[in-house]
Amino acid sequence: MVVLNSGLTGLAAELGKPGLPGTGFYAPQARIVTAQGNPILVDGDPVSIDLVSVKVTQVHHGVSQVSITLNNQRHDKGHNILVPTWKYNKMDALSFGDRIRVEFRYANSKTWAPMIVARITDVTYSFPASGGSLITLQGEDLLSLLKTKPSEDKGYKNKQEMEILTNTLTRAGSRLTLRPSGLKVFAETLKTVTHRKSQSYLQFIESIAERMDFEVYVDAVSPEQIHFETARSASKNIDAVDLTWNMDLIEFRPKFKVWDLYTEAVLKGRHPRRRTRITGRAKRADIGPDLHTATGGSAPMNALDVRDSFFSANDPQRENKFTDKITNLDKERADLKAIAILRKRAREFLTAEISTIGYTELVPGKHVDLHKLSVPFDGIYYITKAVHTIDASGYRTQCSLRRPGMLDPSTYPGVKNT
């Protein structure tokens, strides 16, 4: 049983409760069904009645995972042990390669929230000297189908990224389809790109995404569609989940990384066709789209402005410019890659781990708005990872956050500006 404060605005909406003061008690629930939503039965009963714990690890880019522990003992309605004793040893209901969907909800909710559609990849049995037998299933979402490697190198000439990505999925034979968002048609095609056989299909796709600051993932609603889209942390329109310290926000562990931030990114090379010199460049203003101002709050300071304000002008290497050589990229793509490099390092400026009551709305790709931590920590962060766990202690969520900036600490209550 989980204790929830029914006065919490965001959580009350999720649970279907009005935002009234007081405390309500809601039981968290989880179930396992087929990828199509049909019940999975053993001995005529749904496997969900055997759930001991469920842990879903979601990420904003890459493969998400699930771990499920089930009771493996067979009992009759009077709780007497039946023969054969072990319920899941036959591997007829749940086994390697099976596709399952894990869903969460609270007991008063009429709808289930799909958390992950996964393939079972590993199975572990436990037969302890005391206590009942258990089975633990490990699974990964369908993006894991692209972890295989091609048998030979594949070269692409004079192609746009969309053509290359679509062909890569066809070669992989995964039956996954592409769902691009923000993927532009460049003024020029790529002269040549090679998918080396040492790279998995997923690694090759991710290498394209990385140089353009894109994210690659699948979700539980359309699990066979690969999202290939611009970093959602830089979205203009966001719907942040409100979390308040000592209410629904239970733990907050922030970390700063300041000195090693890049102040500029410069990539130099020659145009692959005309052999003229080109330069890709990114400056601090390119970090801006990742910073969001909370309603009624102050605009956060850019991470590089914070770096300037804390380190003396006499410090050596105060400017930390990243420079590198590039090949086979035109000016347009070189600029995008430089921006991706600068943003990636800037996003390490302020990261945080948080723990909350169980909250299905907290998923990677969304934002949270933290309250009552005061400056410099209040405000909007991007969720890169969410771990949802239901077990004997209830339902809880842990998230990894990032923000390339912070609120001005000089505005902290009681601080005097001199």
Provide the pLDDT confidence category of residue 400 given band limits of 50, 70 and 90: very high
- The SS3 assignment for 365 reads coil
Q: Are 72 and 131 in contact (CB under 8 A)?
A: no
Q: Which residues pair with 280 in a beta bridge?
A: 267
Token pair listed for 174? 């995964």
- The SS3 assignment for 233 reads helix
pLDDT at 11: 39
Query: Looking up tokens 């770096």, which residue turns up?
Result: 307
**Maximum Cα–Cα distance across the chain:** 82
Q: Give the amino acid at 169.
A: L
- The SS3 assignment for 136 reads strand
Q: How close are the terminal C-alpha atoms of the chain, in Å?
A: 52
pLDDT at 211: 96
CA angle at residue 134 from 397 to 51, to 5 degrees? 45
Tell me the pLDDT tens digit for each residue of 112-153: 999 999 999 999 999 998 878 999 999 999 999 999 999 999
pLDDT at 17: 39
pLDDT at 175: 93
Q: In 10 A of CB 185, how many CB atoms?
A: 8
Phi-psi region for residue 241, left (φ > 0), alpha (ψ -120 to 50) or beta? Answer: beta
Give, for 214, the enclosing helix (H) or strand (E).
strand 214-217
pLDDT at 313: 67
Q: Which residues pair with 35 in a beta bridge?
A: none
Tell me the pLDDT tens digit for each residue of 232-265: 999 999 999 999 999 999 999 999 999 999 999 9
Residue 6 clears pLDDT 90, i.e. is over it: no
- Residue among 30, 21, 24 at smallest CA distance from 360: 30
- Nearest-10 Cα torsion for 41, 106, 242, 346: -20
What domains sit in the chain, N to C, each tagged with a CATH number?
A: 2-145 (2.40.10.10), 148-230 (3.55.50.10), 241-409 (no CATH)
Query: Looking up tokens 């600029």, which residue turns up?
Result: 335
pLDDT at 129: 86
